[in-house]
Amino acid sequence: MLLAVCVVGCSTTGQYSIDKNYTLGRKYYEAGRYQKAIEYYLQHTGDHPDSLLNEVVFYHLGRSYQQLEDYKNARTYYQRLMDKYKGGFWADLASKEMSRIPAK
């Protein structure tokens, strides 16, 4: 299972922790219910600050805020992702998304 996580671009440091908050966050994100996704993703990162999944979670948080047109928070999570996981798959996607956010 760890191999599958790394294949989608996760870092190789930290712990791999799937909990109900991650699962529900992903479910709501995929359903386009971004506010609910944010709620569960934030709970996941609070409960599991060293989880390998946080790389993906930070990206989904950025995208969720972007979809809600909360560009300040979108930038915050994209930047956090790019700083913490520099050069990774998700950080590269975050950089591309950041360039699509309207100027302040």
Q: How far apart are CA 94 and CA 58, in angstroms?
A: 9
Q: How far apart are CA 39 and CA 4, in angstroms?
A: 25
**pLDDT tens-digit map of 33-86:** 999 999 999 999 999 999 989 999 999 999 999 999 999 999 999 999 999 999
Q: Residue 21: CB partners within 8 Å, gap ≥ 6?
A: 40, 41, 43, 44, 47
CATH number for the domain spanning 69: value is 1.25.40.10
Q: Which of 77, 62, 54 is nearest to 29 (CA)?
A: 62
Answer whether residue 8 is part of any domain: no
**pTM (2 d.p.):** 0.82
Number of domains in the chain: 1
Answer whether residue 88 is part of any domain: yes
